[in-house]
Amino acid sequence: MQIRPFNQPPPTLGNQYDDDRVLRSYLKRALPPDGLREAELSLREMGELAGGELYQMQLADRLNEPTLTQWDAWGNRIDRIEVTPLWQRAERLAAEYGVVAAAYEGKYGRFDRIYQFALAYLFHPSTDVYTCPLAMTDGAARTLLNSGNQELIDRAVTHLTSRDPVQFWTSGQWMTEATGGSDVGLSETIARLNDNEGWQLYGRKWFTSAATSQIALTLARPQGNPPGGKGLALFYLETRGANGKLQNIEILRLKDKLGTRKVPTAELMLSGTPAQPVLGLDNGVRNIVPMLHLTRTWNSVSAVAFMRRGLALARDYARRRVAFGAPLANKPLHVDTLAMLQAESEAAFHLSFYLVELIGRDETGEMNEAQGYILRLLTSIAKVTTGRQAVAIASEVLEAHGGAGYVEDTGLPVLLRDSQVLPIWEGTTNVLSLDALRALGAGEAFAALKAKVSQSVQVARDNRLTAAAGVAAAALTHAESWLQAAMAAGRPALEAGARRFALTLGRALALALLIEQAQWSLDHEQDGRPRAAACRFAQSGVDLIVDVSADDAYALANDNFL
């Protein structure tokens, strides 16, 4: 049999900065020109690494996983985790490029965060979720700085924000116990003040992803404290002592996970681990909030980065793969499918980077009151919205590659598996939707969000954009009337609709931000692509609020006779 020329060429990636029209156009609008000129140098380098060396390494590294060695040959407990070669390289590069540090250097003022998250966005999809420890490292640095605990700041923050790979430390966030990740107030870990030893922690941490980190911020209940979240305190610990050994920490096992398999997520036993209170001996859940805000933001940016990666591959493949006599890129239905994915990911991008912008303002004291309300609400709704989009898009991206998308050694299936964690960790969709309700406060946050949406859509002068603007405004009006009715109906009605409400806010704001960018692109770049994305996104289900019957829901959820 003669072998014909092969028509399933693998998708390839170019420089992931140069090729990213959405990122580049946004940065042109968001950053001062001088800052952009300078920032572009490293962003372009990172784009080259992401599309080149790191991507190739990722494909070659596919079957490697972290290993846990619990005992040495002589029966000593050592609990050593070896991470994969790509993770080792990623750790070095993350330090050198300042993927955490860039946020703390004050180089571009409130734009530091945009620069840092642009780096993270490029870095993320080629480094097998090494952004997980980076997110927690960033969160730990911010939490310690906010705590005002000078001793810990002096001890740790310089390491967490170092660009020197030898000095660079990462941090874990050890919250989840078998009793709960969402309902963390049930935590059972106890802190005891022992004579001569200071505080020591005793308990079992059920999910700890940065198991190789030098430090962790964790929750424990000082002995005698009351139950619930308020009785927990926030503690700082160093995983290893001066002798290099784990400090009364046993790594019980690594989790056998669906995705993020390069992340060494471990179950830990703490049996007298030395720790220091970060900020008092109670209110630990409240005191760790700065960490959660940042890890959720990293989650949103990672979601967008995965969407972008999937699309880059699917778009390239569509140009190469010939079926029914033409490249897929010429097939109207395939084109329509990719267009839908692009619109979703473009909207998600602007939602996430608006959140990033607000964090930059917050950290430099340039945020007004209304932006403060939006920020509190946005960490939850951006994560909820983008996490779900990432999973849906990854699934479509696999399908866009046909059978190849389902075959492991194409390197494609991992996109779906790794995306699936995004709506789960750092707060599930439901838990964060309920958090969004809490963030509404006495209504100030909703009013601020509504004002922001109307301000963004008001810039639309183009006719097609004005029509899309109407969709965003109408979604918020509907959300507002639903909220009033649900509050009048009582807590169960409010909770039952919280997910649809949060997603509607997220999608309406994403549309408004996309419209703002689209008008700017028409005016400054004569580029109609963001407008096309805005119009398409406006037709893709922005207002998700519907009236449902609670009785029907109970019957359906429990399969009860009705």
Question: What distance in Å separates the CA atoms of residue 419 and residue 391, rounded to the nearest whole number?
Answer: 5
Which residues, in sequence order, are CB contacts of 179 under 8 Å at separation 6+? 186, 187, 188
Contact 385, 139 (CB under 8 A): no
Nearer to ligand FAD, 11 or 427 (CB): 427
Task: Give me the phi and psi of 166, to 5 degrees please.
Answer: -75, -35
65 token code pair: 């996983």
The distance of closest approach from Cβ of residue 177 to ligand FAD in the complex, given in angstroms and rounded to an integer, is: 8
Nearer to ligand FAD, 47 or 66 (CB): 66
213 token code pair: 């980190």
Question: What distance in Å separates the CA atoms of residue 212 and residue 209, rounded to the nearest whole number?
Answer: 8
3-state secondary structure string across 467-501: HHHHHHHHHHHHHHHHHHHHHHHCHHHHHHCHHHH
The distance of closest approach from Cβ of residue 527 to ligand FAD in the complex, given in angstroms and rounded to an integer, is: 38
Give me the residue label for tokens 């945020």. 367
Give, as ranges, the residues between 264 and 293 that touch ligand FAD (CB under 6 A). Answer: 265
Give, as ranges, the residues between 54 and 73 that touch ligand FAD (CB under 6 A). Answer: none
The distance of closest approach from Cβ of residue 239 to ligand FAD in the complex, given in angstroms and rounded to an integer, is: 13
Nearest C-alpha neighbor of 351 from the set 393, 379, 331, 313: 379
Nearer to ligand FAD, 469 or 502 (CB): 502
Stretch that binds ligand FAD, among 22-30, 106-114, 167-175, 331-339 (CB under 6 A): 167-175
In the list 260, 419, 456, 517, the residue contacting ligand FAD (rule: CB under 6 A) is 260
The distance of closest approach from Cβ of residue 434 to ligand FAD in the complex, given in angstroms and rounded to an integer, is: 6
- CA dihedral sign of residues 359, 16, 400, 409: negative
Nearer to ligand FAD, 262 or 321 (CB): 262
Nearer to ligand FAD, 435 or 462 (CB): 435
Nearer to ligand FAD, 206 or 349 (CB): 206
The distance of closest approach from Cβ of residue 429 to ligand FAD in the complex, given in angstroms and rounded to an integer, is: 6
The Cα-based distances of 150 to 96, 154, 234 in angstroms read: 26, 6, 15
112-123 vs 33-51: helix crossing angle, rounded to 10: 10
**Residue nearest to ligand FAD according to CB distances in the complex:** 181
Beta bridge pairs of residue 200: 192, 274
Residue window 170-209: x/- pattern of binding to ligand FAD, with contact defined by CB under 6 A: --xxxxx---xxxx-----------------------xxx
Of the chain, the end-to-end C-alpha distance in Å amounts to: 63
The three-class DSSP label of residue 382 is helix
Nearest C-alpha neighbor of 500 from the set 544, 537, 541, 538: 544
Nearer to ligand FAD, 328 or 494 (CB): 494
DSSP secondary structure, 25-58, as one string:
HHHHHHS-HHHHHHHHHHHHHHHHHHHTHHHHHH
| Site size for ligand FAD (CB under 6 A) | 25
Pairing outcome for strands 249-254 and 233-238: unpaired
Contact 61, 411 (CB under 8 A): no
179, 376, 113, 516: CA torsion to nearest 10: 130
Task: Give me the phi and psi of 207, to 5 degrees please.
Answer: -135, 110
Nearer to ligand FAD, 260 or 342 (CB): 260
Give me the residue label for tokens 């408004």. 512
The distance of closest approach from Cβ of residue 435 to ligand FAD in the complex, given in angstroms and rounded to an integer, is: 10
Nearer to ligand FAD, 36 or 268 (CB): 268
The distance of closest approach from Cβ of residue 82 to ligand FAD in the complex, given in angstroms and rounded to an integer, is: 19
The distance of closest approach from Cβ of residue 135 to ligand FAD in the complex, given in angstroms and rounded to an integer, is: 10
Which residues, in sequence order, are CB contacts of 225 under 8 Å at separation 6+? 231, 232, 233, 281, 282
Nearer to ligand FAD, 15 or 433 (CB): 433
The distance of closest approach from Cβ of residue 292 to ligand FAD in the complex, given in angstroms and rounded to an integer, is: 10
The distance of closest approach from Cβ of residue 33 to ligand FAD in the complex, given in angstroms and rounded to an integer, is: 39
Residue window 360-399: x/- pattern of binding to ligand FAD, with contact defined by CB under 6 A: ----------------------------------------
The distance of closest approach from Cβ of residue 234 to ligand FAD in the complex, given in angstroms and rounded to an integer, is: 13
Stretch that binds ligand FAD, among 117-125, 257-265, 400-408, 505-513 (CB under 6 A): 257-265
3-state secondary structure string across 316-338: HHHHHCEECCEEHHHCHHHHHHH
Nearer to ligand FAD, 13 or 270 (CB): 270
**What phi-psi label fits residue 79: left (phi over 0), alpha (psi between -120 and 50 degrees) or beta?**
left
Nearer to ligand FAD, 397 or 421 (CB): 421
The distance of closest approach from Cβ of residue 132 to ligand FAD in the complex, given in angstroms and rounded to an integer, is: 7
Stretch that binds ligand FAD, among 223-231, 395-403, 417-425, 452-460 (CB under 6 A): 417-425
Nearer to ligand FAD, 207 or 353 (CB): 207
Give, as ranges, the residues between 419 and 478 that touch ligand FAD (CB under 6 A). Answer: 421, 424-431, 434
Which residues, in sequence order, are CB contacts of 325 under 8 Å at separation 6+? none
The distance of closest approach from Cβ of residue 28 to ligand FAD in the complex, given in angstroms and rounded to an integer, is: 36
Binding site for ligand FAD (CB under 6 A): 172-176, 180-183, 207-209, 257, 260, 265, 421, 424-431, 434
